[in-house]
Structures are given as structure tokens and as C-alpha cells.
Amino acid sequence: MSSFATGRPDASEHPPDYAEYIEQVPDGDIRDLLARENEETLALLRSLTPEQADSRYAPDKWSIKEVIGHVIDEERILSYRALRFARNDATELPGYESHTYPPYADFGKRTLGDLADELEHLRKANVQFFRHLDEAAWGRSGVAAGARVSVRALAWFTVGHEIHHRNILRTKYL
């Protein structure tokens, strides 16, 4: 078992804005948390009606489907970064503006069930990826958006980002 996978990343492993997300993740093996937290999100999503899926808590806010689309897009980018850094690719990766993606993704035209299925499949693939990293890969890092970030911090941020948005769904939408 990798100690990198069971230990929480420290502040030197990620940019400061990751901290609020990483702090939301419970202690434990991040590989198990990736699977467990996704199951909780999927259960919530699959309990919603189509009307709820299209709801917004304010006129200028995303619908629930757009929130889930954002979580999917973010996870894809984070896992791509983790792959590159785990494989010791030293190429600096550019930043991105994920908050500008939903208007171009047509998430509102999809069903919430379809988005939940995509999130589930994406996470299962990422769980497999992270489960098979060796100790050295967990400890590698690279530069993305001008900041150094470790593979471990990317995994923890992925879970924390999901928890953050699940909490928003519960407190502001439902």
C-alpha cells in the first residue's frame, strides 16, 4: 500500500486555492475515497426528478445538470494532469477556465441520468488509474497553470471538488 495514497497532501504539494477543497475530503486512502464519494454523489443524482435536474437556485446560476457537467469536465482535466505527471512528463501544462465550459457543452440537452452515467464511468476509469500507481508516481509533480502540483494533490482535489459541488447541490438547490 502506498503511503502517498493514504496521506493527505501538504501545502507544498499544491497551489493555495486547492486547500479549501482538499480540506473537505475525509481522512483515508484516496483510492477508496475516489470510489466511495462518487457513489454518494451518484445516489443523490439518481434520486432527482427531471424538473430538479433543470433547476437553478438563481437565474444566473448553473442548472444541476450544468453543475454535474462542470464536475465531469474538471475531473477529466485533473486526471489528464495526473497522468502526465505520474508518467514523469516535465512539460508545463497550461491553465484553463472551466467555469466558461458549460455554455458550450449543451449539458441542458442531456438527461441527468446520462450525465450521472458519464461521471460514474469517468470515475471508475480514474479509480483504476490511481489504484495502479506506484509510490514514485504518487510523489511526482509537475507545473500546471504556473503552479507546482503533485499527483497526490490532484487526486485529493478531484474528490474535494466533487464533495464541494455535492454540498452546494444539497444546500442551495435541494
Domains of the chain and CATH, by start: 31-173 (1.20.120.450)
Report the b/e string of 57-72 with b at 16+ CB within 10 A: eeeeebbbbbbbbbbb
Range name among 78-82, 97-101, 113-117, 151-155 with the lowest pLDDT average: 97-101
User: Whole-angstrom Cα distance, residue 58 to residue 47?
Assistant: 22
Is a pLDDT exceeding 60 seen at residue 2? no
Per-residue pLDDT reduced to its tens digit, 46-89? 999 999 999 999 999 999 999 999 999 999 999 999 999 999 99
The pTM score is: 0.96
What count of Cα atoms within 13 Å lies in the side-chain half-sphere of residue 155?
35
Q: How confident is the model at residue 6 (pLDDT cuts 50, 70, 90)?
A: confident
Confidence of residue 4 (pLDDT cuts 50, 70, 90): confident
